[in-house]
């Protein structure tokens, strides 16, 4: 017969009631921190759009190439949209 693992802090996988406000506060702080870093999570492969559009390293991507075509794949459409969004963010500063 295997022994059941008992935890001091948790019972049946749930936190004790007195810990719930603290856990909620930490969860909210983590969500706020993630909101501020959405760009880092969005850019998985830096330079992939530039390479696929045939633009040399160090040059700007022309706006004409950022237009979305029907023949573009879903991933390409997302990359183009993200590039447009980041371009708008740059202008605000």
Q: Apex CA 84: angle with CA 83 and CA 88, to 5°?
A: 115
Residue 11: what are its φ and ψ, rounded to 5°? -135, 120
| pLDDT tens, residue by residue, 8-57 | 555 555 666 666 777 777 787 777 777 777 788 788 899 999 999 999 99
pTM here is 0.59
Domain spans, the chain: 17-92
**pLDDT tens profile 44-87:** 899 999 999 999 999 999 999 999 999 999 999 999 999 999 88
The pLDDT assigned to 36 comes to: 75
What pLDDT is recorded for position 49?
94
């Amino acid at each position: 017969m295997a022994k059941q693992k008992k935890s001091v802090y948790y019972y049946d996988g749930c936190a004790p009631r007195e810990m719930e406000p603290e856990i909620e506060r930490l969860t909210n702080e983590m969500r706020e921190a993630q909101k501020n870093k959405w760009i880092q999570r969005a850019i998985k492969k830096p330079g992939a759009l530039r390479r696929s559009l045939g633009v040399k390293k160090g040059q700007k991507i022309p706006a004409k190439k950022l237009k979305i075509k029907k023949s573009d794949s879903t991933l390409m459409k997302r990359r183009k949209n993200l590039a447009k969004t980041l371009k708008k963010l740059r202008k605000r500063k």
